[in-house]
């Protein structure tokens, strides 16, 4: 399918407004904006190809069901809904539509995922280093820890043999060497900060990704929508980037 997709925005908070702003710069048409005061209606007759969802975790599956019933496609930037991943995949496959989801649509964060994977492989060859994660976000963020932190944790668990499980938030007692500690902080207007600490008796390495604003997430979501246009299937955002990085 040729041409730019027509876009709808689900959720008109800070992310929705940034997507609208950048879409205008990229000459991508936004035909509809849905929020609490102007909700997506199951019987609505809408002129868009792909909806970009940055709403709320509890709304994702219901939004996807409505989009699938319309035979339109969807990019899911909302996090915190991953317990329903299997159901989302079934909805997409049954409807024959396209869907891209991701814990983080920042291209810089996608590079960071790869940096952490390589760093974890290096430390896995040594027996005197430990690894931990810490993430910080603004006070309004719904999910804790962040979906990005959980993705980073999954990468580390796959690469570091000693780490068998994730310990999050408040933990009583000593954290055993088999647990990957993931801590979180909420407050202020922090857009997003994720740090991996690789520590030993003799030295320490800190690898940090800081989101300066929301434009990186919006750029990635729009790139995913353009890539998805005309495709069917349930894709993780990493699939969009494989062509860019020759993977």
Q: Give mean pLDDT, residues 207-212.
A: 95
State the Cα–Cα distance between residues 210 and 186, nearest whole angstrom.
Answer: 15
Looking at the predicted structure, is the pLDDT value of residue 53 above 90?
yes
Lowest-confidence range among 134-148, 170-184, 193-207?
170-184
7-105+214-245: which CATH number, 3.40.50.720, 2.40.30.270, 1.10.10.10, 3.20.20.60?
3.40.50.720
Has this prediction a pTM greater than 0.85? no
Residue in 223, 171, 228 with CA at minimum distance from that of residue 23: 223
What would the DSSP string read from start to end of 96-151?
T-EEEE-S---HHHHHHHHHHHHHHHHHTT-SS-EEEEEEEE-TT--SSS-HHHHH
Instruction: Please give the positions annotated as active site.
Output: 137, 141
CATH, domain range 107-210: 3.30.360.10
Looking at the predicted structure, is the pLDDT value of residue 173 above 80?
no
The 10 Å CB-count burial string (b at 16+, else e) for 67-95 is bbebebbbbbbbbbbbeeeeebeebbeeb
Name the DSSP letter for residue 35: B
Q: Where are the domains of the chain?
A: 7-105+214-245, 107-210
Looking at the predicted structure, is the pLDDT value of residue 1 above 60?
no
Helix runs in the chain, H state only: 14-25, 60-69, 85-95, 107-123, 147-159, 215-228, 238-245
Q: Give mean pLDDT, residues 211-229.
A: 93
Confidence class for position 116, pLDDT limits 50, 70, 90: very high
The predicted structure's pLDDT at residue 115: 97
């Amino acid at each position: 399918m040729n041409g730019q997709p027509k876009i709808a925005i689900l959720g008109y908070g800070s992310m929705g407004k940034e997507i609208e702003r950048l879409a205008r710069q990229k000459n991508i048409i936004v035909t509809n904006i849905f929020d609490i005061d102007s909700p997506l209606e199951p019987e609505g007759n809408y002129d868009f190809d792909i909806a970009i969802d940055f709403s709320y975790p509890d709304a994702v599956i219901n939004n996807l069901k409505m989009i699938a019933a319309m035979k339109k496609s969807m990019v899911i930037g909302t996090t915190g809904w991953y317990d329903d991943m299997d159901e989302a995949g079934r909805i997409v496959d049954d409807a024959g539509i396209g869907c891209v989801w991701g814990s983080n649509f920042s291209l810089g964060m996608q590079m960071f995922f790869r940096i952490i994977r390589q760093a974890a492989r290096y430390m896995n060859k040594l027996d005197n280093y430990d690894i931990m994660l810490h993430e910080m976000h603004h006070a309004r963020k719904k999910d804790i820890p962040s979906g990005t932190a959980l993705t980073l944790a999954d990468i580390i668990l796959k690469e570091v043999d000693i780490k068998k499980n994730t310990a999050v938030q408040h933990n009583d007692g000593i954290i055993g060497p088999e647990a990957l500690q993931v801590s979180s902080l909420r407050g202020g207007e922090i857009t997003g900060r994720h740090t991996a600490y690789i520590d030993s008796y003799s030295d320490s390495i800190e690898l940090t990704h800081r989101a300066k604003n929301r434009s990186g997430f919006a750029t990635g979501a729009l790139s995913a929508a353009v890539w998805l246009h005309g495709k069917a299937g349930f894709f993780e955002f990493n699939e969009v980037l494989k062509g860019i990085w020759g993977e």
